[in-house]
Amino acid sequence: MSDFLGSAKRLSLDFVSFAINSGVLKFGQYTTKAGRLSPYFFNAGLFDDGLKISRLASFYAQRVLESGMEFDMIFGPAYKGIPLGATLAMELARQGKNVPFAYNRKEVKDHGEGGSLVGAPLKGRVLIVDDVMSAGTAVRESIDLIRQQGAIPHGVVIALDRQEMATEKQNGVIRDVPYSAVQYVKEQLGLQVAAVASLDDLLEFLSLSQDADLQAHLSHVQAYRAKYGVSAL
């Protein structure tokens, strides 16, 4: 068990290093969708060449395989989930687990084959692939779509769990809630969730770094975690 935990932690820290070196994980001041001023920002759209997205897929595949999640196919929600789902399917096939994949269009196509779905028919237990789960909106939309097709939304794999409070709107007012989007998907929607890395992993990486520039961001990320963070499940 200790070897497994050690391997999982190494994977997470290696991924944080990779994301920083690729310019995908940046530090500064960024406004989130919830209106919070975050000291870091993760933009998976910057995995923008063959080598980067190939390595990204290897991180996803290793986390999925280590998680032990059983699934029959992959679904990538538009738009960022499309290349993530395709490259994850390729990497899993390379490692001996060949599964079909599908994705959706934002706009329904009214010519040719028509419809909003592309790829394999949705059936069986479906693994949803996305980058970061903030409000969980994309996942809930994916769950509805999968169920409409008679398939079973079974699990979600993401690159980064920000481990921060989600928000909800009540009577036109947006307020924080004491759980994260990941926790909501696990506890309320009943899906398994695997994240390649988390905010805790980012904090550990910064605390272990010998780079003075990176260490300078540690206190800001710690303060953000203290203000908006949720405890791990």
Contact between 73 and 102 under an 8 Å Cβ cutoff? The reply is yes
Q: How far apart are CA 189 and CA 141, in angstroms?
A: 12
Q: How far apart are CA 139 and CA 119, in angstroms?
A: 19
Look up residue 160 and give its two tokens: 């980064």
The catalytic position among 9, 26, 106, 111 is 111
By three-state DSSP, how is residue 24 classified? coil
By three-state DSSP, how is residue 208 classified? helix
Active site residue 111: yes
Query: What is the widest separation between alpha-carbon atoms in the chain?
Result: 56
DSSP letters, 43-93, are: -GGG--SHHHHHHHHHHHHHHHHHHT---SEEEE-TTTHHHHHHHHHHHHH
Active site residue 220: no
Q: How far apart are CA 201 and CA 15, in angstroms?
A: 9
Tokens 């993530």 correspond to what residue?
Answer: 84
* Size (the chain), residues: 233
**How many CB atoms within 10 Å of residue 106?**
8
The catalytic position among 9, 97, 109, 227 is 109
By annotation, the residues acting in catalysis are 109, 111
